[in-house]
Amino acid sequence: MSQYVVAGGTPLVGEVEIGGAKNAALGILAASIMTDETVTVENMPDVRDTNVLLDAMEGIGVEIHRPSRHVVNINGSRVRNVNIEYELIKKIRASYYLVGALLGKYREAEVPLPGGCNIGSRPIDQHIKGFRALGAEVDVEGGVIRARAEKLTGAHIYMDVVTVGATINIMMASCMAEGKTTIENAAKEPHVVDVANFLNSMGAKIRGAGTDVIRISGVRSLHAAEYSIIPDQIEAGTFMFASAITRGDIMIRNVIPKHLESISSKLMEMGCEVDEFDDAVRVVCARGLRPTQIKTLPYPGFPTDMQPQAGVTLATSGGVSTITESIFENRFKYVDEVVRMGADIKVEGNTSIIRGVPKLTGANITAPDLRAGAALVIAALAAEGCSVVDAIHYIERGYEDFELKLKHLGARIEKADGETEIRKQKLKLLSA
C-alpha cells in the first residue's frame, strides 16, 4: 500500500482546478452503453473508480478509446454478454449502474453485488423495487444481481428513501421502457441531474431531474452524443475545507457555485470569507474558526461526502460543535485517527461532539475510506509536525492528482511506498 508523507503547518495559498464529478461520471459511463452509436464524454475524471468501471465495460465487449486523459469515446454496439466478471468489478460500488443500463437496453443483466467503501450497509432494495415495478424479474443469489424482463413498462415508483443510486438506476432502466415512468421522492443531487441531461442528449425524454419528481417517457432507442461532465462538487468542497483548516486562501476554479451553497454557507458560519464568481469560489480563513452544528442531508442539504472534512476542520475551531450523520451509519471512522492527532471528539450514535483544540499534531494515521482519507490529509496539512497517511488507495478512488494539486498550493506532501521511502520523504520535507 502507498502512503502520503505530510509536513504540516503551512497555510495553503493559490489556485486549484477542479475535475469532472466522479459520481456523475460513473452513472454516465454506464448509461453510455445504452446506444449502439459512439458516445464522447469529456471532463472525465482520471480516478480509480471510473477506470475500474471502464475496464469492466471493456470486459463485456464495449469499445473504449481515450484520445486524451479526460476524453473517452465509448461504443456499446458489440456488447457480447451481460454478465460482468466479479474480479473486474468487485472494487467499486457503482457496479450496480450496469444493471440499470443493461436491463434498460438488453432487458437482462447479471452483475456482481457492489463492493466499495465500508461506510454503511449500502442496501440495494430500492434499486430492485424500481426494476420490479418496471416488470423485471430480479433475484440476488451467489453475490450476483440477476434481472431480466420480457418487456419493460413505465410505472409510478415511490422511493422509500432518497437514494442517488436507485434514482439514477431507475432513470436508465425506464428510459426505453414502454410508456411513462414517474419517480417520486427522487434524489436531487447535481450528479443525478447530470446523468439525466446526458441521457436526454442521447435522445431520452427525462423531465424534472433536480426536483422530487422525475418523469420519464420511454423512447425506442438512444443515439450518439457528445457530453461534458459537471465539475466535482465534493472535490471542490474538499479544497474549500483545506483552505479553512490550514487558515489559507484558495481560489477553487472550474466549479458551479450553486452546487456548493450548503458548503459555502457553513464555512461562512465558521468565520471564513467565501467569495463566489461565475465558475469559481475563493475561501479565505484569516483567523480562528467558530464552532457550528452540521446535519448531513440529501441535496441541497450539507453533503454526507463532506462530513469527514468538516469534522476534522471543526476539531481545530474554538468551542464545541456537533455533527449528525443522517445518511450512513458508519461514517465516523476517521474520528479515531484524528483523535490520535490531538483532536477532542466523541461519537455517540450518529452524532459527533467536537471540542475544538488549539492545534493538531502530526501522527501515523490510516485512511479508512475515500472521503475520510481526504479529510485526514487536510488534517495532516494543518497539524504541527510530520504525518504519514497510510492506505491512500482509498483516496485515489475519487481524487485525481490529489498530492500534486495540494503541492501546487504550497503543501509539503510526498507520496511514498513503504518504510524506506517514508524515511527518505520525511528527510526531504523536513530539510526543505
Among 134, 176, 202, 327, which residue sits at the site for ligand EPZ (rule: CB under 6 A)? 327
- Residues with Cβ within 8 Å of residue 19, at least 6 apart in sequence: 43, 45, 46, 47, 70, 231, 232, 235, 254, 400
Q: Is 163 in the site for ligand EPZ (CB under 6 A)?
A: yes
Measure the N-to-C terminal CA separation of the chain; round to a whole number of Å.
Answer: 26
Among 304, 317, 321, 387, which residue sits at the site for ligand EPZ (rule: CB under 6 A)? 304
CB closest to ligand EPZ, residue no:
165
Dihedral sign (CA 163, 166, 169, 173): negative
Among 165, 203, 311, 368, which residue sits at the site for ligand EPZ (rule: CB under 6 A)? 165
Q: Let me know: does 250 contact 239? Beta carbons within 8 Å.
A: yes
Count of positions (residues) in the chain: 432
Let me know if 348 is exposed, middle or buried by CB neighbors in 10 A (0-12, 13-18, 19+).
exposed
Number of residues located near ligand EPZ, criterion CB under 6 A: 28
- Smallest gap, in angstroms, from Cβ of residue 26 to ligand EPZ? 5
- Smallest gap, in angstroms, from Cβ of residue 333 to ligand EPZ? 13
Q: Rg of the Cα trace of the chain?
A: 22
Burial 179-215 (b: 16+ CB within 10 A, else e): eebbbebbbbbbbbbbbbbbbbbbbbebebbbeeebb
Grid cell at residue 16: 486549484
H-helix or E-strand spanning residue 85 = none
| Residues 83-102 interacting with ligand EPZ (rule: CB under 6 A) | 93-94
The amino acid that residue 53 corresponds to is L
- The whole-angstrom separation of Cα 87 and Cα 112 is 9
Among 105, 371, 405, 412, which residue sits at the site for ligand EPZ (rule: CB under 6 A)? 371
Q: Is 214 in the site for ligand EPZ (CB under 6 A)?
A: no
Q: Is 266 in the site for ligand EPZ (CB under 6 A)?
A: no
- Smallest gap, in angstroms, from Cβ of residue 69 to ligand EPZ? 20
Asked if residue 11 has a cis previous peptide bond (ω within 30° of 0), the answer is no
- Catalytic, 117? Answer yes
Q: Which residue number, 138 or 285, has a Cβ lying nearer to ligand EPZ?
A: 138
Of the ranges 33-41, 159-167, 192-200, 360-368, which one interacts with ligand EPZ (CB under 6 A)?
159-167
- Smallest gap, in angstroms, from Cβ of residue 159 to ligand EPZ? 9
H-helix or E-strand spanning residue 244 = helix 233-245
Among 176, 398, 416, 422, which residue sits at the site for ligand EPZ (rule: CB under 6 A)? 398
Q: Where are the alpha helices (DSSP H) in 60-146?
A: 86-89, 97-106, 125-133
Q: Which residue number, 3 or 296, has a Cβ lying nearer to ligand EPZ?
A: 296
Q: Is 370 in the site for ligand EPZ (CB under 6 A)?
A: yes
Place of cell 431520452: 204
Dihedral sign (CA 97, 100, 102, 104): negative
Among 198, 328, 334, 394, which residue sits at the site for ligand EPZ (rule: CB under 6 A)? 328
Residues 102-131, mask of contacts with ligand EPZ (x by CB under 6 A): ---------------x--xxxxxxxx----
- Smallest gap, in angstroms, from Cβ of residue 53 to ligand EPZ? 10
Q: Let me know: does 278 contact 254? Beta carbons within 8 Å.
A: no
Angle in degrees, CA 6, 12, 17, rounded to 5 = 105
Residues 24-63, mask of contacts with ligand EPZ (x by CB under 6 A): --x-------------------------------------
Q: Is 164 in the site for ligand EPZ (CB under 6 A)?
A: yes
Residues that bind ligand EPZ (CB under 6 A): 22-23, 26, 93-94, 117, 120-127, 161, 163-166, 187, 189, 304-305, 327-328, 370-371, 398
Active site residues: 117
